[in-house]
Amino acid sequence: MIAIIDYKAGNLTSVKRALGHLGYEAVITADPQEVLAADRVIFPGVGAAVSAMEDLKKTGMAEVLKEVYKRKIPLLGICLGTQIIFERSEEGGTECLGILPGTVKAFPDPLIDPKTKERLKVPHMGWNSVKLIKPHPVFSNIDPRAEFYFVHSYHPVPKYTELIYGITDYGVKFVSVVAHRGLVAVQFHPEKSGKPGLQILENFCQWRP
């Protein structure tokens, strides 16, 4: 069973639907026992860091997610779920989970494309490639030219470079894939990224850290 963390952050049903398309059973849950009994856990999200952290603390999911990481239960962070695993976010000055060392920062304002000198829109919304810094099983069988769907105004800044597995260029180069032990997290939305995104979810479901 795959547990999808329910913390009222949106986009949960899209993740469950994508897993169902691949033939995997998943449940959207905020039950600590159900999460800790799962074979693997997905921590998705669309929304604000402040309200997300409030809900995670209220339901006890904040400590459960730390325990998931400690037990090396395979854990996939998506978008907001990737940002919240770090220590602190500039979005509302939010203290986050602190599973990984680092912060979450806003895109520069204004964000200028260095090639065209034009102002880029924030939130960053649309399709972009990911340049892998080093291989990871969750990115097996992915075409290097593949593009993924992003929707975000903030991005993770890990404290240590060994946590960084992929970067994306949108006016500035930012970290779009991090991993450590049983955790892999992506700033984009694999559930909205067509075949490459489904391949990532398939790889995660087969991954044994």
| φ, ψ dihedrals at 168, nearest 5° | -135, 145
73 within 8 A of 38, measured Cβ to Cβ: yes
Q: What is the largest CA-CA distance in the chain?
A: 52
Establish whether 21 is a catalytic residue.
no
Q: Which one of the listed residues 79, 91, 124, 202 is annotated catalytic?
A: 79
Cα 142 from chain centroid (whole Å): 17
Establish whether 87 is a catalytic residue.
no
* Residue 194: closest CA among 42, 12, 14: 14
Beta pairing, strands 75-78 & 40-43: parallel
CA–CA separation, 18 and 45 (whole Å): 15
DSSP designation for 189 = B
CA–CA separation, 174 and 172 (whole Å): 6
Establish whether 191 is a catalytic residue.
yes
Q: Which one of the listed residues 91, 180, 189, 202 is annotated catalytic?
A: 189
Active-site residue list: 79, 189, 191
